[in-house]
Amino acid sequence: MRPIQRRQQNLQYGIYLLCMQVLNFGIDKIPPATLITIIAQVLLYIGFIKVPWNAEEVCISAIKIFKYHDWKSFIMSNFEHGSDMHLYYNMISLILKGSYLEPMYGTINFIILLAILSFGCSAMYTVLGYALMQLTSDYGYYTQCAIGFSAVLFALKVIVVCEEHDKIRDVGGFRVPSKIAVWVELILIHLLVPQSSFIGHFGGIMIGCLYCYTSIGEMIDNIIYIITGTPIIHEEQFYRRRSSLFR
């Protein structure tokens, strides 16, 4: 997520880079739900999908939700992007995470999980914005507006780490244990890209942690199973991590 900046429609280099990366990765290697999600967000960004709003109008903020009940922003802010490069980096990240998780969980299950994570990230963003305003008396937290899929991506990062065996990851040139990699990335992005939404990224991590480490995740899995009739099967270490919080 990023605080909103006006889209530059004449700058489309990021779309070109994304197409090249998709071709290099192999379209056939990208699972269907992941690929459709990427295509839909690209088409939305370039205006091929006609919607009765622009990106600036559906940025999410605590004040828009709590005071004005702007549910359109609550839903659509995750799928709009402020620039072509913002879209590019988010979709490359989605390719990697979706290609790992979607085959493991199943396409329909993954779609529903993405929807739940999107809803959760929007809710967490608004709650954090309101709470920080109350704690610091800084009204800026209440009104800060952001768009983008990166909050959901941070939630997916946490889930990927929980599914994998512990390993060393490279984050911006730093080799760190996978269990803290997402926190290191959060700090690095905030330092290197100060216009990015720290609240949005942090909220995404919190949603990922709720799914991985608490009974909320088990409830979500049960809901998905009731809807699709197909259970989400996690790796053994995922179940150990989820249960470790209560030991």
Query: Annotated catalytic sites, by residue?
Result: 150, 201
**Which pairs with CB-CB distance under 8 Å and at least 24 residues apart come from 208-211?**
208/117, 208/154, 208/155, 208/156, 208/157, 208/158, 208/159, 208/162, 208/182, 209/158, 210/120, 211/117, 211/155, 211/158, 211/159
Three-class DSSP labels, the chain: CEECCCCCCCCCHHHHHHHHHHHHHCHHHCCHHHHHHHHHHHHHHHCCCCCCCCHHHHCECHHHHHCCCCHHHHHHCCCCCCCHHHHHHHHHHHHHHHHHHHHHHCHHHHHHHHHHHHHHHHHHHHHHHHHHHHHHCCCHHHHCCEECCHHHHHHHHHHHHHHCCCCEEEECCEEEEHHHHHHHHHHHHHHHCCCCCHHHHHHHHHHHHHHHHCHHHHHHHHHHHHHHCCCCCCCHHHHHHHHHCCC
Gap between the Cα atoms of 198 and 196, Å rounded: 6
